[in-house]
Amino acid sequence: MLLYGVDITSRLLLGTAQYPSPAVLAEAIRSSGTEIITVSLRREAADGAGQAFWSLLQHSGCRILPNTAGCHSAAEAITTAQMARELFGTTWIKLEVIGHSDTLQPDVFGLVEAARVLVAEGFDVFPYTTDDLVVGEKLLEAGCQVLMPWGAPIGSGQGLRNPDALRAMRAHFPDTPLIVDAGIGRPSDAAQAMELGMDAVLLNTAVAKAGDPAQMAQAMAQAIDAGRLAHAADPMEPRDMAVPSTPVLGLAELA
């Protein structure tokens, strides 16, 4: 999987918030096999705890994908991205512009505006967006090379609320990396996303809030691999009626 020219093997991107301890986070990262971890600029503090967290990230061996979590305007997201580039030393940015405080649905107008500015400044933008095709087109026109449609509201664990829309995105953007971001609650949700042809899954809460985060991280990674293999195998379509799996012709006739 190529993301802005970088070859990535693991198709699981892992968030770093809400874990019960740094040690648990480190073990979850190892168990997941992820190569990309996301971190909010707000997670970095000037005190010792913030420095310890940054040290953990540096020693993880993963590529850092800073995000603009919590930003509610294009201007705020742009400023946060600029600060993140200085702090983390990367042009990669997961762009979030939140438009609704309850659902945390992206403000797609502010998102496109911020993406256009950041791309012009040399950022590699990973936009957290809805599953709307028109918005996706506008983001690509702004210079984004990746789209990150939500599966469900952030942290809800509801899975894929609109798989038909994600399927349509895959068909409409066949050559664009699509990463389902937000809403994944169980490994079966992650597998479903990959079976639809998504390129990767980004998740956080489902692992961080599990009883055993490291074990859940491993389960998610295996589900993503299974879903990817299933998509490549071209699974059968559902049928309206039963079809016998045993041939009817050639059966013995008993008198």
204 has binding-site annotation: yes
Find, among 209, 205, 179, the residue nearest to 11 by Cα: 179
Report d(CA 60, CA 19) in Å as an integer: 15
| Four-residue CA torsion sign, 53, 74, 89, 203 | positive
129/108 Cα distance (integer angstroms) = 7
9: its two tokens: 């093997």
Question: What is the radius of gyration, based on Cα positions, of the chain?
Answer: 20
Cβ partners under 8 Å of residue 49, min gap 6: none
Residue 94 a catalytic site member: yes
Question: Of the candidates 52, 73, 64, which has an alpha carbon nearest to the alpha carbon of residue 92?
Answer: 64
As given in the structure block, the two tokens for residue 245 are: 């799996």
Sorted by sequence, the CB contacts under 8 Å of residue 35 that are 6+ apart come out as: 8, 9, 10, 62, 63
From the list 11, 43, 85, 94, the catalytic residue is 94
∠ Cα 68 62 54 (to 5°)? 60
84 among annotated binding-site residues: no
Compute the 3-state secondary structure of the chain and give helix, strand, coil in percent, each to the nearest 5: 40, 15, 45
Which amino acid would we find at residue 97?
A: V
- Catalytically annotated residues: 94
Binding residues: 155, 182-183, 204-205
Give the annotated binding-site residues for 1-deoxy-D-xylulose 5-phosphate.
155, 182-183, 204-205
